[in-house]
């Protein structure tokens, strides 16, 4: 699975998690008529939004992927597993946290509110990483692929020869 695809899926999945958990929060708060939780959630979401945008600046995007790209080993063949299996193996914690926070959020809306803010922060902080990796791939004429391993370990990448694009005049 190309590393850029994994980054794109991660951003979309965490954005979807943030949306779902915010909806659960809104429904539970409306049901309980709990304005305090709603106000705290709104403040937390604004803080998460600001901090996520700060961490997701383009100037920080390359720094976020630098270590993973530097550790990539060179290979002439792609990892054997299917992209879906690799994505599931790397991204299952996002699904588990979304389900857990959503289930707890039905009873305790604050849990869903905190989860929504965190997911929003992560989604915004990672949204520029794909572009940074694409720029490096185009510059160096390589392609980075994800090696199947546990989501609880650091990501491993392989670098394969790609097509070098020449800059336009």
**pLDDT digit string (tens) for 105-125?**
999 999 999 999 999 999 999
Q: Bigger pLDDT: 64 or 8?
A: 8
pLDDT reading at 163 higher than 70: no
pTM of the prediction? Answer: 0.86
CA distances in angstroms from 166 to 112, 135, 147, listed in the order given: 47, 12, 28
Which tens digit of pLDDT belongs to each residue from 26-41?
999 999 898 999 999 9
CA gap 147, 163 in Å, rounded = 21
CA-closest candidate to residue 54, choices 135, 134, 120, 131: 120
Domain ranges of the chain: 3-72+81-135
Helix, strand or coil, per DSSP, at residue 145: strand
Specify the pLDDT at position 150. Answer: 86
The DSSP result for 63-110, as a single string, is HHHHHHHHHPEE-SS--SS-HHHHHHHHHHHHHHHHHHHHHHHHH-HH
Sheet holding 73-74, edge to edge: 73-74, 157-161, 142-146
Q: What values do phi and psi take at 149, rounded to 5? A: -160, 180
6 CB-contact burial (10 Å; exposed 0-12 / middle 13-18 / buried 19+) = buried
């Amino acid at each position: 699975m190309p590393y850029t695809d994994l980054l794109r899926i991660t951003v979309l999945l965490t954005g979807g998690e943030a949306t779902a958990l915010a909806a659960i929060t809104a429904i539970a708060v409306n049901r309980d008529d709990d304005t305090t939780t709603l106000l705290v959630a709104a403040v937390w979401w604004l803080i998460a939004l600001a901090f996520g945008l700060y961490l997701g600046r383009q100037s920080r995007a390359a720094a976020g992927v630098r270590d993973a790209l530097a550790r990539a080993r060179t290979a002439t063949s792609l990892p054997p597993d299917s992209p879906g299996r690799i994505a599931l193996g790397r991204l299952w914690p996002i699904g588990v946290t979304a389900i857990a926070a959503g289930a707890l959020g039905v009873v305790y809306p604050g849990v869903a509110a905190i989860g929504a803010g965190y997911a929003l922060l992560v989604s915004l902080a990672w949204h520029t990483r794909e572009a940074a990796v694409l720029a490096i791939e185009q510059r160096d004429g390589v392609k980075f692929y994800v090696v199947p391993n546990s989501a609880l370990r650091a990501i491993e990448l392989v670098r394969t020869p790609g097509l070098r694009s020449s800059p336009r005049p």
